[in-house]
Amino acid sequence: MKSPVTVALVGNPNAGSTSLFNALTGAQSAVANYQRVTTSLNVREITHGGVPLRIVDVPGIFSTSSQSPEEKVGCDYIHGEEPDIIVNVLDAGHLDRSLFLTTQLIETGLPRITVLNMMDEVRRAGIRIDTVLLASALGSPVVETCALKKEGIDALLDAVAAMASTTPAAATLRLHYDSHLEAAIERVQQHLSKLHPQELSPVRSRWLAIKMLEGDDEVLRHESNHVELVEEIKGEQTALAHEHDEDTAGLLASARFAFSNGLLREVRQQESDPTAGFKLTRILDDFFLNRTLGLPLLLGILWVMFEATFTLGAIPTDWIKAGVQVSTELVDKTLPEGMFHDLVVNGVMAGVGGTIVFLPNIVILFFFMAILSGTGYLARASFLMDRVMHHFGLHGTTLIPMVAGFGCNVPAVMATRVITNKRARLIAMLIAPFMNCSARLPVFILFAGAFFADIAGTVVFAMYMLSLVAAMVSAVLLNRIIPGSGGDAFVMELPPYRLPTLHSVLHHMWDSAQGFVAKVTGVILVGSIVIWFLQEFPRDITYSQDFETVIAEQTALPDSPEKETALKTLKSAQAQEKLEKSYLGRSAIAVTPLFQPLGFSWRDSAAIMTGFVAKEVVVATYAVIYAQEKGSDQLTETLRGAMPPATAIAFMIFTLLYAPCLSTIAIIGKEAQSWRWAGFSVAYSLTFAWLLALAASRIGGTFL
């Protein structure tokens, strides 16, 4: 085989391919206990036993003829790239379903290794699998693994290295179909061999013949210029349907399931009650999926999650605040006065320090998310919400990208690949940015703590619920605007309840912490410096009065409370005028008329403008502006005095809904294959956010 040897991990969704990829390569790709977490190829190179290996994690597929954009990635890879070795990852507890894909992989003729993953669950359920007999029947080595616990990984790597070090033998195993079907395959195979002499091996031509008779759109498209072949295929399909009263795809599927069922009767033995292993899942589902209690329970669990995120996070947040304050005072005293001093203290320390304090809240939120996704409850939350979503014209599969959006909107847009209908997918892409991503969390924690300290956790929970409602209402509107119809039926397999491993939970928290710190030390740091320069320049400002002279005259007066008050007022007015005439102030004041109906000042406008880059920069902007103007490190107290509570609610709503960050806009343009839809997303979300914030400002102003 060529070097490095390409090894493709191929299996059904939620079979554990990505967990196995992580265990094999040391990668930290996202995993969860529900389907469609992996939507694109993951590639890493390793060396085992002196053999260079290129490991490719292929998104889960149920069939090699799958049609959804996300499954098409996997199918196209198998069809087009032809990896050197296929590692077929099977959920050992669901072999009845998993082997259907195996039967199709056998027909590719590629060297295979069969992996029985999640064997710990199979053993607990009292199931025994004769792996020797299974290996003989499938014509491939069989390795038992538990990827999450990293069991069987060395054995799998040894098997891959051994296969890579030998010359692959010609594939001899083949599934045998009905005699009429076999005759049709033979005729199409001969036709293909004539059209592509010396190009196709017997195994390859048989596989193509089967795929064409099955009606695989991609394979048929490749051969569409051979009109006689296409006509022959149609004739064979018609004849087979007439003889068997069933279409060719159904005949092939029946034969594959018959092979799987017969094989399992030989290799699988149940040593105890086959339903015993699912008893706990049934009991828990009766409770969590109860038609009456299910939704209230879901809301209660989410409320506890956000309340705990705020209240538990307050303790370490105070520690970090104290550390930032001590560091700022130390730097303030150490550095000599001048522009560099101001840049570090009022720019970098204020912006970065004002944002990093929210790290504990981010980590705690992702701890709960890891528990919910790892146990399988998140999949059940999707199931519970499906009934509600249908009232808003959304398909159940839309829930998967919406759930992903709670972490970050970029993978949420990519996760819409699970939706096969183009119009439904476009609508899902356009509403995905409304989901309250973790980047917005620092803004809500800052405002909730400043204005609604007694119910801060509930306020954050309300913002998450509002993001769901906004997405659903937008779906109704977009369904009326975007022409077309149709969509997918919601079919989602509920995984068994699993206890998340400590490693996976800690990794989830560590990964979120790393991501947040990377943003703080990257885009937030750069943003803070840029904002400081924009508010510091130009330096030759013409003030409305000679502040320096007036301050000097006031300073010369005898000490008194009136003198101190007058000096404070003069310095504040000077700082105010300096900010308003800076580049930041001028640009923000220019757009402020757009936001004045919402009650926003030019400082709020500046924060909104910088939030286009990344929503975390909103907090950094406030921190830099108020550090310069007030000379205060108590951002929460300063913010509380800068606007009424009703305006604070309007600002939170606007931040929740207005334009996606630049990364999300870029991915919408790429996935929709049109920058017009990316532009539409920005315009629509700005309009929607403005109208809702206006309503909140007016209604809230009446009561608060």
Q: In the chain, where are the structural domains located?
A: 5-165, 179-270, 287-438+483-504, 506-537+553-701
pLDDT band at 142 (very low <50, low <70, confident <90, very high): very high
12 marked ligand binding residue: yes
> 278 and 121 in contact (C-beta within 8 Å)?
no
CA angle in degrees (0–180, nearest 5) for 82-84-89: 90
Angle between helices 422-431 and 675-703 (to 10 degrees): 50
15 marked ligand binding residue: yes
Mean pLDDT of the chain: 84
13 marked ligand binding residue: yes
Give residue 594's pLDDT.
Answer: 92
Could you tell me where the DSSP H helices lie in 245-293? 248-267, 279-288
Give residue 171's pLDDT.
Answer: 67
pLDDT band at 86 (very low <50, low <70, confident <90, very high): very high
261 marked ligand binding residue: no
Please compute the mean of the pLDDT values over residues 335-349 and round it to a whole number: 86
pLDDT in tens, 520-564: 788 778 888 888 888 888 888 888 888 888 888 888 888 888 888
Question: Quick check: 394 pLDDT over 50?
Answer: yes
118 marked ligand binding residue: yes
Collapsing DSSP to helix, strand or coil, 30 comes out as coil
16 marked ligand binding residue: yes
18 marked ligand binding residue: yes
314 marked ligand binding residue: no
pTM above threshold 0.75: no
Who has greater pLDDT, 186 or 569?
A: 186
Please compute the mean of the pLDDT values over residues 647-654 and round it to a whole number: 95
Who has greater pLDDT, 328 or 171?
A: 328
What count of residues does the chain have? 704
617 marked ligand binding residue: no
Return the CATH fold of 5-165.
Answer: Rossmann fold (3.40.50)
Give residue 146's pLDDT.
Answer: 92
Question: Quick check: 389 pLDDT over 80?
Answer: no
Q: Which two tokens stand for residue 262?
A: 């017969």
Give residue 632's pLDDT.
Answer: 44
End-to-end CA distance of the chain: 72
> CA nearest 177: which of 95, 253, 101?
253
336 marked ligand binding residue: no
Return the CATH fold of 179-270.
Answer: Helix Hairpins (1.10.287)
22 marked ligand binding residue: yes
26 marked ligand binding residue: yes
Question: Quick check: 92 pLDDT over 80?
Answer: yes
Residues with Cβ within 8 Å of residue 385, at least 6 apart in sequence? 295, 298, 399
Phi-psi region of 126 (alpha: psi -120 to 50; beta: other; left: phi over 0): left
57 marked ligand binding residue: yes
Give residue 631's pLDDT.
Answer: 45
Give residue 593's pLDDT.
Answer: 93
Give residue 682's pLDDT.
Answer: 92
Pairing state between β 85-91 and 5-11: parallel
274 marked ligand binding residue: no
Residue 474 main-chain phi, psi, to 5 deg: -65, -35
pLDDT band at 605 (very low <50, low <70, confident <90, very high): very high
pLDDT in tens, 1-46: 677 899 999 998 888 888 899 999 988 777 665 666 666 788 999 9
